[in-house]
Amino acid sequence: MTARPAAHRWAVLDESSDPVPGDPEEVAALGRQLRRTAEAIEKEAREIKALASVENWKSKTATEFREAADGAGDKLRKAFKRYDEAANALGTQVRDGVCSNEYASELHRAQQMADQALHDAEAAHDDLGAAQRSLDGLPDDTPKDDPDTKKYNRQKDQASSSLSAAKDALEAAKGIRDRAASAAADAIHDVIEGDGLKDGWTDKFKNWVHDNAGWLTQISKWAGRIALWAGVAALALGWIPVIGQAIAAVANAVALAASVVALAADLVLALGGEGSWKSVILDAVGVATFGIGRAAMSGARGAAAGTKALARGNLYRQAVAAGAKTNKAWKIANRGAQGAIRGKSAAKALAAMPKGKLFTPSNLREGFSPVSMYRDTVDGVKSIRNAFSTQGWRNGFKDLAAPRSAGTLDPELARTAAGLDGMAQAAKGMPDVARGVSNFHGQTNVWLGATATGVAAGAEGAYGAVTGLYDKVTG
């Protein structure tokens, strides 16, 4: 590196330091390094192209290599252009005394002009000082038209003019440097922006996922396990008297919420290339099935409530048709459909009850509703207080009912099924009531299938249980 003039010397040109700093040789050295990189990339691209063009290499590996080579070759060509343009913009050597399109040579030329301007300015400053001292040394009564006075004033004017010219030359030097720097920067910027290698938002997203894959994976793992065991708890612990149904209600909501968290984490990991789409699918199955299970539970409740209300109304009308008076007819109806809701609530239940074995859209919204999950969780927690009362335990044991089918393994569904079975035989024989009971059991079967599928998906996602069992059986 050639030493630059000391900072204090530039004060003569009204500069506090070197106005054209930098080392042209260092810039050229960087340009040569970029050129070597460009040549190495070009060599690699030629070799890959040559290897991919070997006609007698025919195999699955060869096909895969050629497919990969096409993409790699394109990226290498773009990378070569990036390094090639950068090397051209900076320059690989410092040319002396010529105008150039390369920054290294133009910086050198600008520094030479600046140094010459500094030399001229220092000489002019010395001449100006000498002329002023000569004027100051003349007698005070020297007339203005004295030959010496005229001579020293001419010398002073010439020195001032030379100093002004030196300042103009320095500004020209800075302009050369600035234009060359701007041209080099623009050339490098244009090739980087247009070569297709710059990271887009997808690349930035993938980089972020890669950097944060550790904690995202942990969230996915533990959310999946929580969803699994919450689903198991909803199935297995509901039969505990008094608090079982509270646990089941809370566990169902927790299973769905945890499945949503696991799905979100695994989806981010998969989109970022750090996870598997199998995990996303399993999470989606978990979310769908736990939500559908809740929807089927809601549909089963609606079917049972509507069926009982329908049975009560039918029994009343049957009794009236047989000649019973109003009060007696209602007593017969109430005995034959114990626990049936009445009045406006009965009308709403009849309107909302599923007309088939599948849940309705409103049931589906209920199954996935965050408000519903929150409400069920709060109600479940509140019901735990029954564990601290004797009457609560009595009612808990009293309300226990044996499952009527696989679909009524849930204690609430078992109690509901027992209530339907307890209807008068005359009511159960009515076609529309029988159809309502059948729809109820259809809803419970959907609940069973959805919940079991959700647990299986959770077991596979959290522990690989399903594929592990398959490998043992087939291995």
Q: Where are the domains of the chain?
A: 7-194, 208-464
pLDDT at 399 over 70: no
Give domain 7-194's CATH architecture: Up-down Bundle (1.20)
Give me the count of residues in the chain: 475
Q: What is the pLDDT of residue 383?
A: 66
pLDDT at 381 over 80: no
In 53-143, where does DSSP find H-type helix?
60-90, 103-137
Q: What's the Cα-to-Cα distance from 59 to each of 45, 54, 66, 250, 295, rounded to whole Å?
A: 22, 12, 11, 57, 53
Mean pLDDT over 222-236 rounds to 79
Q: What is the pLDDT of residue 71?
A: 58
Over the stretch 99-131, which tens digit does the pLDDT of each residue have?
888 888 888 998 899 999 999 999 999 988 898
Contact predicate 210/272, CB 8 Å: yes
Q: What is the pLDDT of residue 86?
A: 83
Q: Which residues contact 167 (CB under 8 A, 6 or more apart)?
A: 13, 14, 117, 121
Label residue 276 by pLDDT band (50, 70, 90): confident
Q: How many whole angstroms separate alpha carbon 175 and alpha carbon 21?
A: 13
Asked whether the whole model's pTM tops 0.75, one would answer no
Q: What is the pLDDT of residue 339?
A: 84
Q: Which residues contact 442 (CB under 8 A, 6 or more apart)?
A: 356, 357, 358
Q: How many whole angstroms separate alpha carbon 389 and alpha carbon 38?
A: 82
Q: What is the pLDDT of residue 116?
A: 93
Mean pLDDT over 222-246 rounds to 73
Q: What is the pLDDT of residue 400?
A: 65
